[in-house]
Amino acid sequence: MENNINTRFASAFEEDVYTGLTSYPKHLSSKYFYDKKGDKLFQDIMNLPEYYLTNCEYNILAENTKEIADAFSGANGFDLIELGAGDGKKTKLLLRYLSDNNIDFNYLPVDISQNALDELQESLKKELPEVSVKPQQGTYFDTLERLSDYNSRKKVILVLGSNIGNLLHKDAIVFLKQIQEAMTPDDMLFMGFDQKKNPQTILDAYNDPTGVTEAFNKNVLERINNELDGDFDLDSFFHWETYNPETGTAKSFLISREKQTVTIKKLELTVNFEAWESIHTEISQKYDDMIVDWLASQADLKVTDSFTDEKDYYKNYIFRKK
């Protein structure tokens, strides 16, 4: 029976939705928030006053552009490989500086969303036409398998936006270890980590009063409706955010307002919900220097430098192989 189920999935999305909604407790992966609508909603989130992460990291890159670019540069140029490139707003600060100073590099943006990559490539053609851009569509883990192919000169692996925060610590160590294994001693990893802070500030960032975050969270249900012929009533679910200051874990949920049944025709699946039952959709982990050093050591990496904003809300760390 299990084998029959496995062979009928046409995509990872189908399989993950089936697995997540037949588990207890129910869960769906946050990577499926992103399609054309989801990309736009996340851009809207990044512009919200409560969502401090984007502005903090943007300011770090704006205030330390030269120092960061100097750390990136290699004797024979370098390949700048960005995992989860998105719209590239922050990265363009570095790309512009590198281009204006005639530094030899190739830019390889990686994203799960082909739509995001297409828009990024189009904007770079207009704004920075001299930058060599080679987009790569796929998940981080797909890309990490190909990273070691880039070994003819220095690699700089760029992960902005605290994307690592979407992983539990054990998964974050696996992720960092995979990057470490693809690195040579000359390579470096530049990665953003959202820092622990006032718990209310964190809750506000993921629960804005305008409802944009709720719409973004619900986009995974909309995708199931559109792509898998589901009949989720989006109004019968609401967004709920929690934060545990001890573990530094923020969690997003969709909560069913009532006892209800959802049918997903493409999966031949009927899903029953009790009133107030949850679907866990995302974690957003928060860190301090001690946790980051521990994660690095578990992955045979070491922190060699870091940059922070004026409030110490956010940090970008440079890692090298031990």
Q: What averages of pLDDT result for each successive group of 10 residues across the chain (322 residues)?
A: 56 96 97 91 93 95 97 93 90 96 95 89 95 88 75 92 93 95 94 98 95 97 98 98 97 98 97 98 97 98 97 98 95
List residues bridging with 273 in a β-sheet.
Answer: 260
Instruction: Report CA-CA distances (Å) from 204 to 51, 59, 309.
Output: 8, 20, 19
Contact 194, 284 (CB under 8 A): yes
Q: How many residues does the chain have?
A: 322
For 256, list phi and psi in degrees, rounded to 5: -75, 125
pLDDT given at position 289: 98
What is the C-alpha separation between 230 and 46, in angstroms, rounded?
A: 29
pTM, entire model: 0.89
Count of beta carbons in the 10 Å neighbourhood of residue 156? 23
Cβ-based neighbours of 134, under 8 Å, separated by 6 or more: 106, 107, 108
Task: Please give the Cα distance from 106 to 198 (Å, whole number).
Answer: 39
Residue 196 has what DSSP assignment?
P
Closest listed residue to residue 30, CA positions, set 119, 137, 142, 139: 139
What pLDDT does 241 receive? 97
pLDDT at 2: 38
* Tokens 């009927």 found at: 270
Alpha-carbon separation of residue 85 from 91, 109, 113, 192, 322 (angstroms): 8, 5, 9, 13, 27
Query: Which are the contacts of 286, defined by CB distance < 8 A and separation ≥ 6?
Result: 165, 194, 195, 196, 197, 202, 243, 248, 249, 250
DSSP H helices, 104-189, are: 114-127, 140-147, 169-182
Cα–Cα distance for residue pair 211/218, rounded to 1 Å? 11
User: Is residue 207 classed as helix, strand or coil in its secondary structure?
Assistant: coil
pLDDT for 7: 53
